[in-house]
């Protein structure tokens, strides 16, 4: 009962935050794993394809579509799970490229996302993995239990989201070892990789 109430509370907070940050869906597909929101770059960034992003420049924030992760909550160690998840991510990015092509007014120079579910020891492997989809991953901060750091509260809410939407993914993870990470991809790179129905 308490767990049900707690998860309902996290979902309510998540809905309020999505409204505040203007998170929206660009796809009606149940397989889409990504939502978007307008945002500003937290710092200057030089991407591998030569794109330079100024601090404060408009970027398109990427948010995991938590409610759609249920289909990937079990058997995460299996090859079939990995293939299905990769297929869903690529489909989500193809649909995002198509959406931005139809709505150039929504286009920023880069896509940006934050991850709070990786442990420090997993960063190198995750960097190689996301590179297969065209992303660059930058490790930011591991606040541990230092509640004076803003990253601690970000990690705490990420932990709550995992517990609410995908508790199976918490197996083997330790909160104190969570590392904040950034995901980057230039919009030009997105359109190059995923535009015009490319896979």
How far from chain centre, in Å, is Cα 99?
18
Kindly give the residue spans of alpha helices, DSSP state H, lying in the chain. 2-20, 79-102, 123-131, 150-165, 187-194
> From CA 151, how far away is CA 143, in angstroms rounded?
6
Determine the average pLDDT of the residues in 91-116: 92
Label residues 162-191 b or e (16+ Cβ within 10 Å = b).
bebbbeebeeeeeeeebbbbbbbbbbbbbb
Kindly indicate the confidence band of residue 173, based on its pLDDT and cuts at 50, 70 and 90: confident
pLDDT value at residue 71: 63
- Say yes or no to pLDDT of 198 above 50: no
pLDDT value at residue 140: 83
- Say yes or no to pLDDT of 56 above 90: yes
* Closest residue by Cα to residue 130 from 45, 189, 46, 70: 189
pLDDT value at residue 38: 95
> From CA 143, how far away is CA 149, in angstroms rounded?
6
């Amino acid at each position: 009962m308490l767990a049900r109430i707690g998860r309902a509370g996290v979902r309510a907070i998540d809905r309020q935050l999505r409204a505040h940050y203007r998170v929206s869906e660009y796809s009606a597909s149940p397989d889409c794993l990504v939502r978007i929101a307008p945002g500003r770059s937290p710092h200057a960034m030089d991407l591998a394809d030569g794109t330079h992003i100024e601090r404060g420049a408009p970027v398109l924030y990427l948010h995991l579509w938590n409610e759609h992760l249920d289909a990937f909550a079990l058997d995460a160690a299996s090859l079939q799970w990995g293939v299905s998840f990769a297929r869903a991510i690529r489909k989500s990015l193809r649909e995002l490229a198509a959406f931005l092509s139809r709505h150039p007014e929504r286009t920023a120079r880069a896509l940006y996302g934050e991850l709070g579910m990786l442990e420090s020891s997993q960063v190198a492997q995750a960097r190689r993995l996301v590179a297969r989809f065209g992303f660059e991953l930058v490790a930011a901060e591991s606040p541990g239990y230092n509640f004076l750091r803003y990253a601690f509260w970000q990690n705490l809410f990420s932990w709550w989201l995992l517990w609410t939407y995908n508790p199976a993914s918490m197996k083997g993870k330790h909160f104190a070892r969570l590392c904040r990470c950034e995901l980057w991809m230039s919009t030009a790179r997105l359109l190059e990789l995923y535009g015009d129905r490319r896979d």
